[in-house]
Amino acid sequence: MDDEAIVLAAPLVRTDPHRPDTETWLGRPVPEGYTDMIDQVRELLDRLAGAAPSAEVVRSTTKTVAELSAALAAYEVDEPDQLSGRLGSAAGRAQVAGPALHVDEVDDERMTGRVRFGRHFLGSNGVVHGGAIPYLFDDLLGRLALGGGRPRSRTAYLHVDYRSVAPIDTELRVAAFFDREEGRKHFLRGTLHDGDRLCAEATALFVALNPGQT
Ligand SMILES: CCCCC/C=C\C/C=C\C/C=C\C/C=C\CCCC(=O)SCCNC(=O)CCNC(=O)[C@H](O)C(C)(C)COP(=O)(O)OP(=O)(O)OC[C@H]1O[C@@H](n2cnc3c(N)ncnc32)[C@H](O)[C@@H]1OP(=O)(O)O
């Protein structure tokens, strides 16, 4: 079984995966508090984006962040052992490059959830940066592409239509649908809503990798 199949086995049930008490990655326990640490880093990125600090605060923050980087550098691991981005049941897979996506319901053909883009993802005028939305869809649709026991696949194209602005600091709804497959080609579609208002929708092709294809 490949790594993705192992990870996805856990979240493919009706669940509220936010802040799981315990989680394992490839049979190993995830350190207690790991997702809390990721949440704090998300908060830090939001605060950083929104702050115009004094020179004194800039100096002390720079020092503190450098110390944190050094502490984590001592625990650097190779890709197979990385936790960030690999925790399928954590918000946003514990990957701060993207927003904290919470999956609420998932089956083989459909996935629904919630997402909140913080200040870190601000473009302008209180609206999410246009580049953050394809990231969200790639992640959302990529997860569903791997569902249902389907083989590993890669995004071949991702088309995003921006229908109306997506506000930051607002809980938005996401949905993903597995539309059809034609051989190795898997066609998926996704939506992002603010209440009843459609903010963006996406269509994507994921191509299943051949055995041994890297
Ligand atoms: C990143 C996550 C890592 C996870 C690690 C482990 C655990 C994590 C836990 C959970 C993970 C959960 C979810 C994952 C979340 C997100 C997923 C993100 C996925 C990505 O973000 S991944 C990076 C971006 N992605 C690329 O980096 C692709 C670069 N590219 C290629 O790697 C090749 O290009 C490939 C493989 C796509 C195809 O190559 P190939 O040689 O295998 O196959 P071929 O070219 O023959 O295409 C076969 C048929 O698809 C048609 N086709 C192909 N491309 C097309 C296009 N653009 N438009 C229209 N049709 C197209 C052909 O026309 C033919 O169609 P036909 O058979 O009908 O002729």
Render pLDDT for 137-149 as a digit per residue (tens, 0 to 9).
Answer: 999 999 999 999 9
Residue nearest to atom 12 of ligand 1 (CA): 143
* Distance set, CA 63 to CA 56, 58, 66, 67, 70 (Å): 11, 9, 5, 6, 11
Backbone angles phi, psi at 95, to 5 degrees: -120, 110
Tens-place pLDDT, residues 95-112: 999 999 999 999 999 999
Which of 176, 46, 47 minimizes the C-alpha distance to 101? 176
Taking the CA of residue 182 as reference, the ligand 1 atom at the shortest distance is 68
pTM for the full predicted model: 0.90
Please tell me the chain's helix, strand, coil percentages from 3-state DSSP, rounded to the nearest 5: 30, 30, 35
- Kindly report the CA angle at 25 between 23 and 29, in degrees rounded to 5? 55
User: Looking at ligand 1, which residue's alpha carbon is closest to its atom 53?
Assistant: 156
What is the reported pLDDT for 49?
Answer: 98
Residue range 97-208 in CATH 3.10.129.10: yes
Calculate the CA 137 to chain-centre distance.
Answer: 9
Average pLDDT, the chain: 90
Alpha-carbon separation of residue 31 from 16, 26, 83, 88, 183 (angstroms):
20, 13, 10, 15, 40
**Both tokens of residue 34?**
């790991």
143 lines ligand 1 (CB under 6 A): yes
- For residue 75, how far is its CA from the centre of ligand 1 (angstroms)? 32
Q: Flag whether pLDDT at 75 surpasses 70.
A: yes
Instruction: Confirm or reject: Cβ of 155 under 6 Å from ligand 1.
Output: yes
